[in-house]
Amino acid sequence: MPLSSQQLHDALRTVKDPDLHRDLVALNMVKDVHMKGDDVYLHIELTTPACPMKDRIQADIERAIRAKGREAGSQIGQVSVEFSADVRKPNQKTRDGQSPLPGVKHIIAVGAGKGGVGKSTVAAVLACGLARFGAKVGLLDGDIYGPSMTTMLGLEEIPGRMRDANTLMPFEAHGIKAMTIGKLVDPEKALIWRGPMAHGAFKQLAMQTDWGELDYLIVDLPPGTGDVPLTLAQLLPLSGAVVVCTPQKVAQDDARRAVRMFQQLGVEVLGIVENMSYFVCDHGSEYDIFGRGGAELMAQAMNLPFLGAIPIHPEMRINCDRGQPLENWKIKDIAATLDHVCQTLAAQVSIATMSGKYVQPTLSIR
């Protein structure tokens, strides 16, 4: 006798998502399960296309189905699992009760306590990496004073477009949508702006760009704890923030301040990325220039997730200068690292979504 639908669902109740620690049925991930003869067919909907535990989930499903078959005395042939992804949207609204970007499921800030730690490089890696896993991703260059995405994404020759007099159309490249003030001003013009001007420019880029439907909007912030991060927290319902840090202590000191800023604003810190963790020379040897592992130790001390360590590599620098971020995934021994960072971030977003951790950021000035 084939297993009944109830028996199949009972088996799947013993399978837990490794990140969310709840069973697949309770998480509403089971979209279809049935038998044809002795074979079992399942459709499982994950919370992110970048799920790092897909293989483990599949193995646990097959183990549970076969165990239920033995218990019921049923013959189990092939167990086929089809995965899809639906990035879950948290219940996020601004203080007036409406989301200003209703088509965007998750807005993730990428910040750093100080400049020069590779924050923009990490933001581009996260955006392109999540898109490679099948997510719809946008990248907002929020570094008003020093925009770099025009170069990093190779947008120089792509003409800008307006949907109407008040709406910017994002640039599309490398599988993502992007917007940067670097494409809207003279490339050699110094952006000498006081706080209100920076606030207005950032607000226009974020709110007047037609982002459409996105799973993730990555926002590359300027370094430090100044006007733009505060503006972002006031304007948009953030899913969380990623803080970028290099290994040495002087960078950790400033990164801690960035973490505390986000926490004070009520923004979930999704994790720390250690950039420039080590140097890979042309011959493949590794050198710990800045004292490898310092940012990971800081994450542990602050009880924050560690998303991963990205090395310095000459080809990564070349790819950034040429505006070819996807070429980084062709570098030997780097692709797996980049995928790990993106998958771990996606897992942290899913955990925060399903656990209801989101709090609308607030700001009190006294």
Q: Which domain holds residue 278?
A: 104-355
pLDDT score of 49 more than 50? yes
Give pLDDT, residue 97: 55
The total domain count for the chain is 2
Residue 192's pLDDT band (cuts 50, 70, 90)? low
Identify whether residues 156 and 12 lie together within a single domain. no
Identify whether residues 70 and 169 lie together within a single domain. no
Q: Is residue 96 part of a domain?
A: no
Report residue 364 CA to chain centroid gap.
Answer: 28
Identify whether residues 133 and 185 lie together within a single domain. yes
Identify whether residues 129 and 187 lie together within a single domain. yes
Q: Is residue 259 part of a domain?
A: yes
Picking from 89-98, 105-114, 136-145, which range would have the lowest pLDDT averaged per residue? 89-98
Identify whether residues 66 and 117 lie together within a single domain. no
Q: Is residue 349 part of a domain?
A: yes
pLDDT score of 195 more than 70? no
What are residue 338's DSSP bridge partners?
none
Tell me if 344 sits within 8 A of 305, measured CB to CB.
yes
Q: Is residue 339 part of a domain?
A: yes
Identify whether residues 212 and 177 lie together within a single domain. yes
Give pLDDT, residue 365: 42
Residue 237's pLDDT band (cuts 50, 70, 90)? confident
Q: Is residue 366 part of a domain?
A: no
Q: Which tokens go with 18?
A: 């490794």
Identify whether residues 26 and 141 lie together within a single domain. no
What are residue 46's DSSP bridge partners?
85
Q: Please write the tens of the pLDDT for every residue from 276-335.
A: 999 877 777 888 888 888 999 999 999 999 999 999 988 999 999 999 999 999 998 899
Identify whether residues 302 and 158 lie together within a single domain. yes
Residue 337's pLDDT band (cuts 50, 70, 90)? very high
Nearest CA to 191 among 225, 255, 148?
A: 148
Q: Is residue 61 part of a domain?
A: yes
HSE toward the beta carbon, residue 282, CA cutoff 13 A: 0
Identify whether residues 115 and 183 lie together within a single domain. yes
